[in-house]
Amino acid sequence: MLYDQHVHSAYSEDGNPLICDIAARAIEIGLRGVTITDHFDLCTDPIGYPFYMAHEEARKADFAAARAQYGDRLELRWGLELGNPFLMPGVADPILAERSFDFILGSVHYLSDGRDVYLVDYSTPERRGEALSMYFEDMLTLIADGGFDSLAHLDYPLRPMKGLMEPTLVPWREQIEAVLAALVRRDMALEINTRGFMDWKNRQEPEDWVLRRYYELGGRMITIGSDAHVLHAVGGAVDRAEAKLRELGFEGVTVFTDRKPALVPFA
Ligand SMILES: [Zn+2]
Ligand SMILES: [Zn+2]
């Protein structure tokens, strides 16, 4: 019954597995569905959307081959991870309007001043405070602009903060409240990213209180994704994320097809 709705393939600049291999792996480990969400970042770094455009035809062919070979045993969906469209206003919309997807994740990988969230200097509380405030402001812009279905890895900036602070977003509680409320208002889903189980945080992303607060505010749509960039990470800890959802009172996981949500209730 498990779905992984955040997987990068060779058509992301920083990913390497072919979609055919991802599908085979997903079946091997017992997933019911996988959504391929390659990067479409609005930035001029190598990871940026021109890489996607240059590889789109190959991506389509690989996806079609995977569906032909494995489609009877796996729900394979066509997705995208849309990064920081606010950095290049007007660029993403016309390109995406000509294409159709099952699912689009929304992410802030780059701040509105152009800094790469992963490479920001987080060494002092002041620097962290300043960068994270901008990060959550940018997230509000991302949500207001729309064009995606689920908000990816809300606590992404914690990934590079290993050793600098406790793995918590409590200092930014007020801003997170605003982000969660905006998601609920716009009927958007929130992602549980399982990568945190494998790194220093040793828990899902974001932490429990954020998920609980989303629920309290009326949020019911949660997507689960591994953020795999390599084959062995596909489906990683999605079962643990599901267990967490049950524990917090959610009734199921939300799966997007043709950009429409469907609740898949827990058995
Ligand atoms: Zn991401
Ligand atoms: Zn990703």
Chain segment 26-59, per-residue pLDDT in tens: 999 999 999 999 999 999 999 999 999 999 999 9
User: From ligand 2's centre to the CA of 36, what distance in Å?
Assistant: 10
Across 22-40, b (16+ Cβ under 10 Å) vs e yields bbbbbeeeebebbbbbbbb
Structure-token pair, residue 215:
């629920």
What is the band of 7 on the pLDDT scale with cuts at 50, 70, 90? very high
Ligand in closest contact with the CA of 157: 1
Ligand in closest contact with the CA of 225: 2
Ligand in closest contact with the CA of 233: 2
Look at residue 267 in the predicted model and tell me its pLDDT.
83
Task: Give this prediction's pTM.
Answer: 0.97
Domains of the chain in sequence order: 2-265 (3.20.20.140)
C-alpha–C-alpha distance, residues 190 and 262, integer Å: 14
What is the band of 1 on the pLDDT scale with cuts at 50, 70, 90? confident
User: From ligand 1's centre to the CA of 153, what distance in Å?
Assistant: 7
User: From ligand 1's centre to the CA of 7, what distance in Å?
Assistant: 10
